[in-house]
Amino acid sequence: MEGSLERSSESSIERSHDSSIEGSLKGSIPAVLIAGTHSGVGKTTITLGLMAALRARGLVVQPYKVGPDFIDPSHHTAICGRPSFNLDPFMMSEEGVRRSFFSAIEGADVAVVEGVMGLFDGMDGTEVGSTAQVAKILDIPVLLVINVHGMSRSAAAMELGFASYDPGVRLAGTILNRVGSKRHLDMLKSCLAKPVFGALPRDKEMEMKSRHLGLVMGFEKDHDPEILATFLEENADIDMILTLPGQARTPAISASIELAGAKADGNGSVRIGVARDRAFCFYYHENLLELERHGADLVYFSPLEDQLPDVEGLYIGGGYPELYASQLERAPARKQIKKASEDGMPIYGECGGLMYLGAALESEAGSSKMAGALPCTTFMEKRLMALGYVKAEVSERNPLADVGRSLRGHEFHYSRCICDRDARYCLKLSRGKGIADGRDGLVENNTMAGYLHTHFYSVSGNKFIESCRAYRRS
């Protein structure tokens, strides 16, 4: 029943979020972006603590995450009670970043954005996809997290470098992590030029547990919001953060933003099943909203526990199917999904969805039968097999996108997929690894799956909706 309770909670959050922005964005609210000097500096713990502290004050917090990550947003959502939105200029374009940010902000009292990697780290040594690029697109103030363990005056040199590197980034001040003592803090404050918004002592209990794909998911409740809130209230100036000069400014509503609230064109809604449980939990929230905007009625179900619902299409995202392979093999949905695929139902899978839709999943725990909708077998590996942004062009017919369409997204996996020799692929990659030899998007019947996690800002959900409508009419 655990998976059912999780899905019920997630569904209630989604229903409470109004995707329409008509009549919204009339005011402005405080907004802050938490950045770091590098990965592992403590951004996530500090961001979650700030969100929890703001929530404890009774404020409505709208969370965001820079980059393509799925895991940090799940923690944001668990704490804030509102879906966290990804902000990624590479996948979404600058206009898409603005659209996501402002369409989600309605009803919030404050916006908190968590950065990615170091402040200026972007794709291929550029600013593309970096925290700094998002800060400039949205013009919101940045607080820089510095791990000051083992340093004093050197922290001032770091602050100066980050503050002067790109004048377009509004660096408002710092949050110092792993401060050793009051004397240590006094030394730091004596040489830092910008305001110190927080000074967090060393506390190993605040470190998040890690897993082979980063952090545990938010629904696994690996943190206590009350402890995080108290930790930040005691060691950061929340009042000063809320009075930062600079707010989430309301832009002129462009045609593309207006389109974000568009509904179906009168052809009627279609029911699309979305696999969502402990095994399948990687979804960009904007993708689900895009499907709804184009007329989808989303039906959440668990391939671990549930029968296949009465739907006209399936969306199976990424996650951790390898951790639940034996349970997935025993569950009734496995054979039902294979039959639905053979009947021509449009099915789209991403990474974990690819693994599940194949014939089998091989790992140290043994071999487990999967749905068998695609001619491939997945093998789990101990090392990372692919990580990074992906550019793809549609080369063959499929239920998701028209031939010739360009897709953008991300891949991150510890598995390799071995396909039959006559397997068909619908994506040619100009960037990224895919399944094999720069190809991705395995296709069989009306089922498509690949390692690519695509963002629907680059593809739209309309083609998939139309594929589902056509299946319903057949």
Q: Which residues are catalytic?
A: 351
Do 92 and 201 have their domain in common?
yes
The pTM (predicted TM-score) of the whole model is 0.88
Burial class (CB in 10 A: 0-12, 13-18, 19+), 250: middle
Do 193 and 322 have their domain in common?
no
Do 96 and 151 have their domain in common?
yes
The answer to whether the CB of 119 falls within 8 A of the CB of 148 is no
Do 239 and 301 have their domain in common?
no
Residue 384: count other Cβ atoms within 10 Å of its Cβ.
11
Mean pLDDT calculated for residue range 326-353: 98
User: Residue 324's domain is classified under what CATH number?
Assistant: 3.40.50.880
Residue 241: pLDDT over 60: yes
Q: At what angle do helices 225-235 and 71-80 cross, to 10 degrees?
A: 90
Residue 12: pLDDT over 50: no
Q: Please identify which residue in the block is written with the tokens 């030029």.
A: 193
pLDDT digits (tens, 9 = 90+) for 149-188: 999 999 999 999 999 999 999 999 999 999 999 999 999 9
Residue 9 lies in a domain: no
Would you state the pLDDT for residue 19?
37
Q: How many helices (H) and strands (E) does the chain have?
A: 15, 26
Mean pLDDT calculated for residue range 452-470: 93
Do 175 and 44 have their domain in common?
yes
Residue 19 lies in a domain: no
Separation of alpha carbons 2 and 414, rounded Å: 26
Residue 96 lies in a domain: yes
- Chosen domain end from 187, 217, 248: 248
| Domain housing 133 | 26-248
pLDDT digits (tens, 9 = 90+) for 189-206: 999 999 999 999 987 666
Separation of alpha carbons 173 and 226, rounded Å: 26
Do 76 and 147 have their domain in common?
yes
Residue 265: pLDDT over 80: no
- Confidence bin at 224 (pLDDT 50/70/90): confident
Residue 464 lies in a domain: yes
Would you state the pLDDT for residue 28?
79
pLDDT digits (tens, 9 = 90+) for 361-373: 999 989 999 999 9
Do 331 and 391 have their domain in common?
yes
**Nearest of 17, 469, 474 to residue 269 by alpha carbon:** 469
- For residue 362, list its beta bridge partners: 367, 379
- Chosen domain end from 215, 248, 281: 248
Q: Would strands 360-363 and 366-369 be described as parallel, antiparallel, or unpaired?
A: antiparallel
Helix (H) or strand (E) holding 237: none
What are the structure tokens assigned to 179, written together?
């401060």
Do 218 and 271 have their domain in common?
no
Separation of alpha carbons 103 and 275, rounded Å: 25
Would you state the pLDDT for residue 202?
87
- In sequence order, the 6+-apart residues with CB closer than 8 A to the CB of 397 are 403, 426, 443
Helix (H) or strand (E) holding 82: none
- Confidence bin at 225 (pLDDT 50/70/90): confident
Do 175 and 283 have their domain in common?
no
- In sequence order, the 6+-apart residues with CB closer than 8 A to the CB of 473 are none
**Nearest of 90, 91, 68, 86 to residue 76 by alpha carbon:** 86
Q: What is the dihedral of CA 171, 174, 175, 177, to 10 degrees?
A: 120
**Nearest of 208, 213, 219 to residue 77 by alpha carbon:** 219
Residue 18 lies in a domain: no
Residue 285 lies in a domain: yes
Do 302 and 180 have their domain in common?
no
Separation of alpha carbons 439 and 218, rounded Å: 33
Do 151 and 208 have their domain in common?
yes
Domain count for the chain: 2
Q: Please identify which residue in the block is written with the tokens 């391939």.
A: 303
The answer to whether the CB of 20 falls within 8 A of the CB of 104 is no
CA atoms within 13 A on the CB side of 131: 30
- Chosen domain end from 220, 248, 276: 248
The proportion of the chain whose per-residue pLDDT surpasses 70, expressed as a percent, equals 85
Do 449 and 395 have their domain in common?
yes
Residue 288 lies in a domain: yes
- Confidence bin at 2 (pLDDT 50/70/90): very low
The answer to whether the CB of 300 falls within 8 A of the CB of 317 is no
User: Residue 102's domain is classified under what CATH number?
Assistant: 3.40.50.300
**Nearest of 80, 89, 92 to residue 47 by alpha carbon:** 80
- Confidence bin at 474 (pLDDT 50/70/90): confident
Helix (H) or strand (E) holding 297: strand 296-301
Separation of alpha carbons 208 and 224, rounded Å: 11
Residue 15 lies in a domain: no
* Whole-number Cα distances in Å, 466 to 230, 312, 317, 469: 49, 11, 20, 5
What are the structure tokens assigned to 297, written together?
């009625």
Q: Please identify which residue in the block is written with the tokens 């999967």.
A: 370
Would you state the pLDDT for residue 222?
57
